[in-house]
Amino acid sequence: MNIKKPLFILAASFMICACATKTENPFYSEFQTPFGTPPFEQIKMEHYEPAFTKGMAEQNEIIASIVNNPEAPTFENTIVALDNSSPILNRVSAVFYGLTGAETNDSLTALSMKLAPVMSEHSDNIMLNAGLFERINAVYQQKDSLNLTTEQQRLLDQTYKSFVRSGANLNDEQQARLREINKQLSTLGLTFSNNLLNTDNEYQLFVENEEELSGLPEWFRQSAAEEAKAAGKEGQWMFTLRNASRLPLLQYADNRDLREKIFTAYINRGNNGDKNDNKEIITQVVKLRLEKAKMLGYNNYANFVLDNTMAKNSDAVMDFLNNLWQYALPKAKNEATELQAMMDKEGKGEKLEGWDWWYYTEKLRKEKYSLDEEQIKPYFQIENVRDGAFSVANKLYGINFTPIEGISTYHPDVDVFEVTDADGSHIGIFYVDFFPRPGKRFGAWMSSFRKQQGETRPLIYNVCNFTKPIGDTPSLLTLDEVETLYHELGHGLHGLLSNCQYYGVSGTSVARDFVELPSQINEHWSMKPEVLKMYAKHYQTGEVIPDSLINKILNQSTFNQGFMTTELLAAALLDMNLHNLTEIDDNLDVVEFENEAMKNLGLISQIPPRYRTTYFNHIIGGYAAGYYSYLWANVLDNDAFEAFEENGIFDQETARKFRQNVLERGGSEDPMVLYKQFRGADPNIDAMLKNRGMK
């Protein structure tokens, strides 16, 4: 998953300023550190709010100078000036919102709630500034005669459209209402996410009797014991809703009641009628979004969002998703039949439920492929997996990742690397933050403390929630976690290798349904035999993973793909159904709506959507009417990787074309144009269906 910066941060350049004194707010000028990295040891809680205030004032002054410029509007004095209008805001926002995701606390949370409506108002003051839009429009109307480069044309188009889509053409009354909607949405979104984080942190499932842990691997028992000890319950075992705790419990626990408890708690997040309940919040969100979309000339929110993507409209997305559904659901039903047959053999008379799926899937994997994930985890020590992913990037693009000391971090778990090109030139700084903790939100994502722009090099970070080391045992990853590490590094490469002139189109500032291509294609290398032999080494013996295990991994590559594809599709269709609404009743019950939508799809009861409405954080953030993007990008990444398989997975010419046409170009050109420049043809869905075992 990729996190974008808040919408109010329009753009910025990173100009060299006078060195800050020890007493000055560190955000007020460029960080005087190696590579301009944030000096986390100097940043205090009391620095954030004044920096936001000063940053807004600075941007307002720059906006006023653009509007009051007596010279005729030009690309440079209007579009570029706006692109460079928020240096302080960019610095403080990058750090502040980075920490509210990865290392939050009560003070940061409270300030984020306080700032949300203020930042929304600041953004609206810019986007609804009539004088500013008049100058932007003047440049836009003469764009065909300006001899702009492709990147300049793209920045101009995106700037103009963002103002129109933000209400610049609305009347005063409509703009006033739009401002109020934006303020409400900013606060509701934060409340939703905070409720979810609170729910996740508060849930603790304790086990007192070791007999109830039957089936759990020893490493997992030790981890649960350490969690319980940290919670003041030494001698017990504690399980949480985080993937590193929940999924192994569902996979291995013979105790069906335990599996049911953790499963039920997870799928009811935000839906418990308590202080962290999200039902009313999501209802308000979808209603306000629909009102906003209609105000801006769209019949529903989905069409408003998709007008600015590769898909262009809701009909195209629904056709795509429904086409995939006809392949995925039958495969999932066949898998359910296999699992039920396995349960029937046990003679207990039990019927397959959602909390049984992971458990019996693991048993079936052993039976069909003689593969137990416990056999392969010892070969996936996190440091080796990470270095293997770095080696793949080196073989493809010639870049190097070198550990670097002396760079300040926001938590001891964070490691830092300097990234250099084949000629030794500096590319950027890369932070990795791999382990879960109470202040970190679920999931995995990439973002930046500074984007690439011209000669300014990026500061990129990956945040994940992988299994933590236990005692003398290092962090050992599952197959899914290995692919997640490669996925997030793919996003990282998109940010690191960006080579754009303008901030507003650099790095991952691309269409939502294109941004997952770099991440998802990078996953393909992780399980290739020649790559596995580079990094998969037993953490105790150093033995390279044997061919017998590699073959088992490859043989089961399409195993359980009906489940995986169906739960993902169900979430994408739920997202679209919510945002395709053209009318919303005041009494909308989002849970009932979800249940009816899944019933109409024919989704089997054992598979809930990957994200249910009350904990669907993606659609509260940047993926509203956009969760389909993972599947659309899966078409692109499978089709694109075929080019590597046709020419050799480390073919230098293919890698060069991908770097130059995708990774370096950001949003400086239409994404389909960039894709076809790399591939030489439109994307084909066949490779995706084949790799998911559906064709």
Active site residues: 488
Of 288, 308, 290, which is closest to residue 626 (Cα–Cα)?
A: 308
How far from 692 is each of 343, 527, 530, 563, CA to CA, in Å? 25, 15, 21, 11
Question: Quick one: angle between helices 172-202 and 279-295, nearest 10?
Answer: 160
Do 277 and 271 meet the contact criterion of CB atoms below 8 Å apart? Answer: yes
CB 607, CB 567: distance < 8 Å = yes
546 CB contacts (<8 Å, ≥6 apart)? none
CA-to-CA separations, 547 to 48, 307, 543, 554, in angstroms, rounded? 53, 48, 12, 10
The answer to whether residues 511 and 671 touch, using CB atoms and an 8 Å cutoff, is: yes
User: What residues are paired with 2 via a beta bridge?
Assistant: 446
Backbone phi and psi for residue 445, each to the nearest 5 degrees, phi listed first: -160, 165
DSSP string covering 604-638? -TT---SS-GGG-HHHHTTTTTTTTHHHHHHHHHH
Nearest CA to 248 out of 366, 377, 368, 367 is that of: 377
Run of H or E including 446: strand 445-450
How distant, in Å, are the alpha carbons of 251, 463, 468, 470 from that of 432? 28, 6, 14, 19
SS3 category, 544: strand
**Rounded to whole angstroms, how far apart are CA atoms 169 and 167?**
5
Which distant-in-sequence residues (6+ apart) come within 8 Å of 321 by Cβ? 569, 572, 573, 576, 628, 631
Q: What are the backbone dihedrals phi and psi of residue 444, each rounded to the nearest 5 degrees, phi first?
A: -145, 140
Q: What are the contacts of 106-110 at 24+ separation with CB within 8 A?
A: 107/45, 108/45, 108/48, 109/194
Three-state SS annotation for 408-421? CCCCCCCEEEEEEC
Q: How far is 77 from 218, CA to CA, in rounded Å?
A: 65
> Exposure string (b/e) for 140-153, b if CB count within 10 Å is 16 or more?
beebeeeebeebbb
Residue with the two structure tokens 């100058």: 135
| Rounded CA separation 3/444 (Å) | 9
390 C-beta neighbours (distance < 10 Å), count: 19
Angle subtended at Cα 403 by Cα 516 and Cα 526, rounded to the nearest 5 degrees: 40
Yes or no: say if 127 and 162 are a contact pair by the CB < 8 Å rule.
Answer: yes
Furthest CA-CA distance within the chain: 85
**Left if phi > 0, otherwise alpha if psi is -120 to 50, otherwise beta: which for 454?**
left
Closest to 500 measured CA to CA, from 665, 663, 671: 665
Tokens for 113, please give them. Answer: 């709630």
* Residue written as token pair 């290392």: 103
Side-chain-facing half-sphere of 11: CA atoms under 13 Å: 27
Residue 142 to residues 127, 139, 146, 165: CA-CA distances in angstroms?
A: 21, 5, 7, 20
Query: Which of 636, 523, 618 is closest to 572 using CA atoms?
Result: 618
